[in-house]
């Protein structure tokens, strides 16, 4: 279904005089009015929700490098063309491939029982039929690394570290360290496998998968995450005495598998060589249908760009929507894009990525040059009526676009409420029904307004501070 903007939006579009000078601290009134009209349209728009529902229903899980991820790219091309994006194409790249086949764990001996686990991305296979060994518990990755040399020979390391719930998801950065580092640290001490308490904040028997540090497709050891109640159970058993666990993980790997980034553009006019990039990632883990991570992000940025392209003229700058591939296994899509467009970095004026679910955006964080902070304030003021508070200026962009942010490209982070994000993240429970439509539409409204302003004003977000004079 074609979604048509209201007459008010159409009348306001691209009739404004040229944008005000770069050193102005306020938006041109006509540009502001258009951005506000886009916000109003975003709050009523269903394109993004329909896009997300279709992706999670018709494709489902989209493991990086898999046939399903390939089908997602073809599906995305059809959807983007149906939405009348005139420029839509795929940039191919290859990745090392990993896929789970078997994953089971059980306590043996006097208290036999099954444990709910999921293999971590990059886990090695155990011997066929599994491996059985005694478990040694640690309270953190640092605790494991501090263990005496060879103290885990023939043992299974178990890092039992809880993740703290937070609106900004800040507990994840610390907790995920055990996921990436457990296998190598345990291998260095002679262990045969590694178990971790899931990097998540729920109490369900749905363990959280996720990538681990590895060389190519594989890490150092067989490694798995325990669901939170099962981590509790194992800890209680260990309080009663020695515990043996039988772990059976079998995986499939390949040195190279096809992946790619799907790209769509709203062509600019007077500054069409300059690019405002908004992104998401198309791949997901294989346990759920990847609704909040990150089909929702793709629906949000596609819907935002679609609202802008329906205006009866072109924005000054080109808006580029990138649906990155293979984010979950090591930001491969972001790295591939950075390499492919290395000679265009100076033309990328602003980047942002939606990859934290679809909770309401509550804070806008920038990563601008010191002399561009007036533009940050203007953008923060614009979206304040939607309940968005100002953040600091530390953003490097999220997920894949952080590759560009770390190269010096100005970035925005439209921070979603992640209070319950890590209840669902990387679990079978990451499904479409978990998305709040009202919160989702608020995301579309924010992205549409900010993307339009970045494209239409011509502001220089890299702008350095004015040099000091002798009397300053």
pLDDT tens for the chain, 472 residues: list them: 333 333 333 333 333 333 334 445 579 999 999 999 999 999 999 999 999 999 999 999 999 999 999 999 999 999 999 999 989 999 999 999 999 999 999 999 999 999 999 999 999 999 999 999 999 999 999 999 999 999 999 999 999 999 999 999 999 988 899 999 999 999 999 999 999 999 999 999 999 999 999 989 999 999 999 999 999 999 999 999 999 999 999 999 999 999 999 999 999 999 999 999 999 999 999 999 999 999 999 999 999 999 999 998 999 999 999 999 999 999 999 999 999 999 999 999 999 999 999 999 999 999 999 999 999 999 999 999 999 999 999 999 999 999 999 999 999 999 999 999 999 999 999 999 999 999 999 999 999 999 999 999 999 999 987 665 444 4
Contact 292, 285 (CB under 8 A): no
Task: Please say whether the beta carbons of 193 and 223 come within 8 A.
Answer: yes
CA 72 → CA 49, 55, 290, 301, distances in Å?
16, 7, 12, 16
Query: Which sequence spans correspond to the domains of the chain?
Result: 7-86+267-457, 97-254
Rounded Cα distance between 171 and 189, Å, is: 27
- CATH number attached to the domain at 7-86+267-457: 3.40.630.10
> Is CATH 3.50.50.60 what the domain over 97-254 is classified as, yes or no?
no
Quickly list H helices, 91-165: 141-145
């Amino acid at each position: 279904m074609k979604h048509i903007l209201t007459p008010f939006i159409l009348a306001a579009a691209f009739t404004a005089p040229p944008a005000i000078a770069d050193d102005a601290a306020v938006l041109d009134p006509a540009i502001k009015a258009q951005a506000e009209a886009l916000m109003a349209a975003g709050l009523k728009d269903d394109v993004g929700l329909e896009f997300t529902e279709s992706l999670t229903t018709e494709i489902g899980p989209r493991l990086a490098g898999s046939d399903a991820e390939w089908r997602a790219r073809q599906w995305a091309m059809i959807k983007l063309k149906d939405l009348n994006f005139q420029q839509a194409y795929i940039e191919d790249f290859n990745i090392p491939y990993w896929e789970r086949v078997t994953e089971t764990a059980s306590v043996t001996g006097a208290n036999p029982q099954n444990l709910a686990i999921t293999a971590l991305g990059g886990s090695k296979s155990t011997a066929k039929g599994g491996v059985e060994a005694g478990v040694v518990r640690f309270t953190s990755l640092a605790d494991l690394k501090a263990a005496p040399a060879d103290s885990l020979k023939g043992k299974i390391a178990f890092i039992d570290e809880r993740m703290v719930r937070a609106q900004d998801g800040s507990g994840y950065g610390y907790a995920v360290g055990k996921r990436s580092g457990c296998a190598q640290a345990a291998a260095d001490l002679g262990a045969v496998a590694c178990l971790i308490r899931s990097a998540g904040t729920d109490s369900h028997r749905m363990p959280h998968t996720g990538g681990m540090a590895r060389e190519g497709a594989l890490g150092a050891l067989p490694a798995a995450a325990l669901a939170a109640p099962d981590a509790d159970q194992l800890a209680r058993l260990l309080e009663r005495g020695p515990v043996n666990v039988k772990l059976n993980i079998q995986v499939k790997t390949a040195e190279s598998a096809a992946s790619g980034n799907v790209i769509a553009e709203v062509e600019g006019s007077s500054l069409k060589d300059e690019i405002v990039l908004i992104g998401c990632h198309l791949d997901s883990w294989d346990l759920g249908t990847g609704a909040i991570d990150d089909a929702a992000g793709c629906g949000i940025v596609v819907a935002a760009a679609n609202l802008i392209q329906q205006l009866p003229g072109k924005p000054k700058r080109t808006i580029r929507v990138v649906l990155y591939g293979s984010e979950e296994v090591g930001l491969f899509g972001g790295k591939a894009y950075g390499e492919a467009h290395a000679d265009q970095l100076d033309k990328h004026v602003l980047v942002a990525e939606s990859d934290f679910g679809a909770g309401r955006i509550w804070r806008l964080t920038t990563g601008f040059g010191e002399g561009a902070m007036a533009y940050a304030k203007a953008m923060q003021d614009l979206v304040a009526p939607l309940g968005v508070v100002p953040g600091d200026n530390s953003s490097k962009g999220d997920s894949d676009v952080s590759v560009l942010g770390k190269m010096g490209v100005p970035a925005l982070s439209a921070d979603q409420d992640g209070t319950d994000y890590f209840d669902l993240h990387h679990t079978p429970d990451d499904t479409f029904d978990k998305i709040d439509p009202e919160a989702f539409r608020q995301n579309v409204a924010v992205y549409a307004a900010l993307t339009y302003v970045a494209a239409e004003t011509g502001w220089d977000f890299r702008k350095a501070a004015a040099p000091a004079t002798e009397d300053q």
